């Protein structure tokens, strides 16, 4: 006799994908509602594009042209390769190129959407996450760049962050561009390695970055990273140039002037902001949190930025002949939410239902009429969803954090006075049905 073993389906999730609990979702909803209000106030259009795009629509113009397929989830249709979008900027460029003649110029749109990246996940970093993007397409005005920073700032503050808890760091691609001219780097790979190295100044410090600009660097674990192989004199020029405390480029001076007009000051110039992207052409920004973020074991972790962006004047042009200079910013919503959850003072009101206990199925009509009264008063209410002893019903109510239970058994029904038990204090009172709503409101 043979017994076939049944393979049980796996209850594990794919690497980098997570279930999200109510607490997180409610904070996320709160953040999203703030975003929408601010975006409407700033006059942006709401847009949604599909999760999948043809790979070449979003892949061909990837900044790292040397590895266009890396990091993206893709599958082959009968005819073409499709990819899950990895950000909202590439689809926007595609959308603008496709609808160029119909859209207003400039085009201001915002978008909320899930994006997917086939990369190694870490604390607060997943392979599926929600992003928020706001972009101006079709304007060279630096007013747009400045306004993006102002708007992000307003969103963060509405979400409960104080000016001391975040900062917008700003630099410009013009700075590194001029630098590359000065030291005459035209080798693209060398430029990329140099940019990536400079991006790490705040984390590693100059000494380590110099190694990356030169031969390379060995990290704590013993792993070796190849360097850009620049000459010592060039490295010195770079260090001197980037250590300047104020920008020498026209674009940033203008942006800072506009900030003044806006009375916006929660930013700082930081020439080490690079954003690793090849397509940025002007001002670039990064949104950083200034309070400690801990992992689920209570250890403070390197959290990095929660968002960023910049000017990309050539991206739309890649799709055709339309010249549409643009600038945009994006926020990793899940990362922002993860950070907000750590703020002790941050509380989201959750209304949990008052539970009406069931003594006898035959009395259901009574329970439904009580439930109706409460629900009509907009009080979250439920009749215990099951058939259990009273004790189990109480345990259930306790578990779901119900504020109160209503006991309405034979005794109470005789006098038409339900018993209301406050689950926090444990106090019970007997109330007239018409007083029930008022008494419950006192508890909630």
Binding to RNA, residues 303-362 (CB under 7 A):
304, 359
Q: Which of 37, 48, 56, 64 binds RNA (CB under 7 A)?
A: 64
State the minimum distance, in angstroms, from the CB of residue 173 to RNA: 12
Do the beta carbons of residue 190 and residue 267 sit within 8 Å? no
Residue 268: half-sphere exposure toward Cβ, Cα within 13 Å: 11
Note the Cα 264 to chain centre separation in Å. 23
Tokens of 147: 């306004």
Q: Which of 44, 59, 201, 436 binds RNA (CB under 7 A)?
A: 59
| Residue 94 sits in the site that holds RNA (CB under 7 A) | no
| Residue 189 sits in the site that holds RNA (CB under 7 A) | no
> For residue 312, which of 352, 280, 359 has the smallest C-alpha distance?
280
Note the Cα 334 to chain centre separation in Å. 4
**Which H or E run contains 110?**
strand 107-116
State the minimum distance, in angstroms, from the CB of residue 64 to RNA: 5
State the minimum distance, in angstroms, from the CB of residue 275 to RNA: 6
| Residue 19 sits in the site that holds RNA (CB under 7 A) | no
* Dist CA 170 CA 46 (whole Å): 26
Contacts 24+ apart (CB under 8 A), 11-16: 14/127, 15/121, 15/127, 16/119, 16/120, 16/121, 16/126, 16/127, 16/128
Stretch that binds RNA, among 99-107, 146-154, 319-327, 386-394 (CB under 7 A): 386-394
Per-residue contact string for residues 109-148; x = within reach of RNA by CB under 7 A: --------xxxxxxx-------------------------
* Dist CA 235 CA 416 (whole Å): 86
Q: Which of 33, 45, 70, 438 binds RNA (CB under 7 A)?
A: 70
Do the beta carbons of residue 359 and residue 390 sit within 8 Å? yes
Stretch that binds RNA, among 35-43, 151-159, 379-387, 393-401 (CB under 7 A): 393-401
* Dist CA 226 CA 205 (whole Å): 17
Q: Is 86 helix (H, G, I), strand (E, B) or coil?
A: coil
| Residue 290 sits in the site that holds RNA (CB under 7 A) | no
Q: Which of 233, 246, 302, 362 binds RNA (CB under 7 A)?
A: 302
For RNA, the closer CB: 256 or 334: 334
State the minimum distance, in angstroms, from the CB of residue 37 to RNA: 26
| Residue 80 sits in the site that holds RNA (CB under 7 A) | no
To the nearest 10 degrees (0 to 180), the angle between helices 188-198 and 173-183 is 130
Stretch that binds RNA, among 189-197, 258-266, 342-350, 365-373 (CB under 7 A): 189-197
| Residue 105 sits in the site that holds RNA (CB under 7 A) | no
Q: Which of 76, 245, 347, 391 binds RNA (CB under 7 A)?
A: 391
For RNA, the closer CB: 259 or 288: 288
Q: Is 354 helix (H, G, I), strand (E, B) or coil?
A: strand
Stretch that binds RNA, among 36-44, 244-252, 264-272, 425-433 (CB under 7 A): 425-433
| Residue 417 sits in the site that holds RNA (CB under 7 A) | no
Helical residues (DSSP H) of 159-249, grouped into ranges: 173-183, 188-198, 201-204, 206-213, 232-242
* Dist CA 226 CA 248 (whole Å): 31
State the minimum distance, in angstroms, from the CB of residue 385 to RNA: 14
Q: Which of 92, 201, 293, 394 binds RNA (CB under 7 A)?
A: 394
State the minimum distance, in angstroms, from the CB of residue 69 to RNA: 8
| Residue 103 sits in the site that holds RNA (CB under 7 A) | no
Q: Which of 261, 344, 410, 434 binds RNA (CB under 7 A)?
A: 410
- Label residue 226 exposed, middle or buried (CB < 10 Å: 0-12, 13-18, 19+): exposed
Handedness of CA 303, 309, 314, 318 (dihedral sign): positive
| DSSP per-residue codes, 362-423 | GGHHHHHHHHHHHHHTT--EEE-SS---HHHHHHHHHHTT-SEEEE--HHHHHHT--EEEET
Q: Which of 30, 44, 52, 86 binds RNA (CB under 7 A)?
A: 86
Q: Which of 170, 201, 306, 423 binds RNA (CB under 7 A)?
A: 423
The tokens 């739309």 sit on which residue?
Answer: 316
Per DSSP, 107 falls in state E
Do the beta carbons of residue 431 and residue 418 sit within 8 Å? yes
Q: How many residues bind RNA (CB under 7 A)?
A: 65
| Residue 411 sits in the site that holds RNA (CB under 7 A) | yes
Tokens of 101: 């003649």
Binding site for RNA (CB under 7 A): 15-16, 59, 62-64, 70-72, 86-87, 89-90, 117-123, 192-193, 196, 200, 203-204, 212, 217, 219-223, 225, 275-277, 295, 299, 301-302, 304, 359, 388-392, 394-395, 397-399, 407, 409-412, 419, 421, 423-426, 428
């Amino acid at each position: 006799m043979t017994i076939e073993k049944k393979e049980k389906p796996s209850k594990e999730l794919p690497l980098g994908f997570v279930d999200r609990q109510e607490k997180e979702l409610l904070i996320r909803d709160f953040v999203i509602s703030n975003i929408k209000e601010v975006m409407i106030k700033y006059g942006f259009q709401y847009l949604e594009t599909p999760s999948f795009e043809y790979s070449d629509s979003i892949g061909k113009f990837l900044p790292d042209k040397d590895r266009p397929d890396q990091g993206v989830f893709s599958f082959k249709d009968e005819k073409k390769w499709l990819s899950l979008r990895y950000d909202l900027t590439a689809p926007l460029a595609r959308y603008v190129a496709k609808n160029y003649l119909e859209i207003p110029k400039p085009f201001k749109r915002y978008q909320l959407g899930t994006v997917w990246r086939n990369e190694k996940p870490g604390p607060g970093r997943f392979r599926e996450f929600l992003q928020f993007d706001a972009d101006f397409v079709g304007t060279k005005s630096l007013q747009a760049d400045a306004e993006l920073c102002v708007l992000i700032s307003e969103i963060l503050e509405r979400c409960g962050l104080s000016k001391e808890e975040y900062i917008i760091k700003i630099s410009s691609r013009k700075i590194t561009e001029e630098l590359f001219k000065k030291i005459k780097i035209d080798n693209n790979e060398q430029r990329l390695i140099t940019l990536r190295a400079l991006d790490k100044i705040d984390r590693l410090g100059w000494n380590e970055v110099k190694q990356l600009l030169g031969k390379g660097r060995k990290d704590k674990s013993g792993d070796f990273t190849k360097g850009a192989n620049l000459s010592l004199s060039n490295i010195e020029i770079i260090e001197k140039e980037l250590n300047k405390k104020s920008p020498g480029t026209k674009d940033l001076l203008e942006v800072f002037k506009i900030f003044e007009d806006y009375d916006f000051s929660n930013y700082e110039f930081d020439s080490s902001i690079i954003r690793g992207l090849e397509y940025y052409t002007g001002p670039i920004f990064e949104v950083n949190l200034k309070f400690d973020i801990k992992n689920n074991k209570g250890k403070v972790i390197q959290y990095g930025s929660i968002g960023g962006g910049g000017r990309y004047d050539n991206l739309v042009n890649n799709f055709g002949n339309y010249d549409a200079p643009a600038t945009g910013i994006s926020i990793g919503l899940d990362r922002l939410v993860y950070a907000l959850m750590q703020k002790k003072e941050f509380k989201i009101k959750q209304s949990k239902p008052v539970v009406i206990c069931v003594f006898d199925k035959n009395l259901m009509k009574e329970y439904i009429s009580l439930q109706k009264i409460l629900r009509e008063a907009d009080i979250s209410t439920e009749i215990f969803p099951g058939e259990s002893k009273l004790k189990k019903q109480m345990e259930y109510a306790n578990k779901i954090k119900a504020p109160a239970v209503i006991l309405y058994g034979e005794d109470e029904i005789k006098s038409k006075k339900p018993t209301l038990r406050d689950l926090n204090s444990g106090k019970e009172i007997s109330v007239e049905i018409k007083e029930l709503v008022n008494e419950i409101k006192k508890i909630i």
